[in-house]
Every structure is written in C-alpha cells, then in structure tokens.
C-alpha cells in the first residue's frame, strides 16, 4: 500500500521536474543552443522515467479457495494452493514469499515489511487459506 502511494507521488514529481526542465531548457546561460526537439525529448524522457517509477507500485495479490494470483513488478502468476508448500516471511526479507512444492519460490512484492501490522494480517490470512485449501499431509 505504502509503496503504491510513494511511487505515484514520485512519478508525479519526476514528471514535474522533467517538464520544468523542458520548458526552461532554452533559457540556460551555458551558451548551448537548445531547440524544440530538445524540449520534446526532455519531456519524453520524463514520461518514460515516470512510467518506470509507477512500475514500482504495480504489485498486487489476490487469494481465494482456488489459489493465489500474484502480480509483481515484472510478471504475473496464478498459483493453485495444491502447489504451495508454505507461505513464508523470512527475517530481514523485504516481502513475503510462497514456497512451492518444486523448490521454487515466488516473491509476494505486494506484501512488504514496510506495511507493518497490515503485512502481519495478510500473511496470517494467507497461511489460514493455505492450511484450508493447500495440499494435505500424507498419512
């Protein structure tokens, strides 16, 4: 939650700075000559940089009886509970993760340590869902 808000504010700030730079570019006293193309390029770089910052706020997580849908900065996963071995949050880790039965690990970047008590509640809820719908122990 916090990262999404911070990334939106940071993206807006980046866009404002680059736009101001594009508008003020010809007024420089460096002796260099800047034209309209330079201003457009500066604005375009600002848009690209702001979009990159917004990617940091992209992670989401949804879980139900069928499984977990994870969207991280890059990539999406739809993981059924049958392949989840554990929901873990290791000491010092910035976010929670799913340990899968094939010894893979999927980061849950939407569940970050920086969110404090909310993170604890989400991890507990995921563990309850895993206990209920995950693979049952043999025997």
- DSSP type of residue 73: S
- DSSP type of residue 139: -
Q: What is the pLDDT of residues 41-74, one digit of tens each?
A: 999 999 999 999 999 888 999 999 999 999 999 8
Cα-based distances in Å from 112 to 27, 82, 96, 101, 116: 44, 24, 7, 23, 8
pLDDT at res. 76: 93
Residue 139 has pLDDT above 60, yes or no: no
pTM: 0.72
pLDDT more than 70, % of the chain: 94
């Amino acid at each position: 939650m916090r990262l999404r808000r911070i990334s939106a504010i940071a993206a807006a700030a980046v866009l404002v700075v680059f736009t101001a730079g594009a508008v003020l570019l010809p007024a420089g006293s460096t002796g260099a000559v800047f034209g309209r193309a330079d201003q457009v390029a500066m604005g375009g770089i600002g848009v690209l940089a702001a979009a990159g910052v917004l990617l940091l706020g992209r992670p989401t997580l949804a879980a139900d009886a069928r499984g977990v849908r994870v969207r991280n900065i890059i990539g999406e996963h739809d993981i059924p509970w049958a392949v989840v071995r554990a929901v873990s949050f290791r000491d010092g880790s910035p976010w929670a993760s799913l340990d899968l039965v094939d010894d893979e690990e999927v980061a849950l970047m939407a569940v970050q340590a920086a969110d404090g008590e909310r993170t604890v509640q989400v991890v507990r809820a995921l563990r309850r869902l895993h206990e209920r719908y995950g693979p049952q122990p043999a025997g």
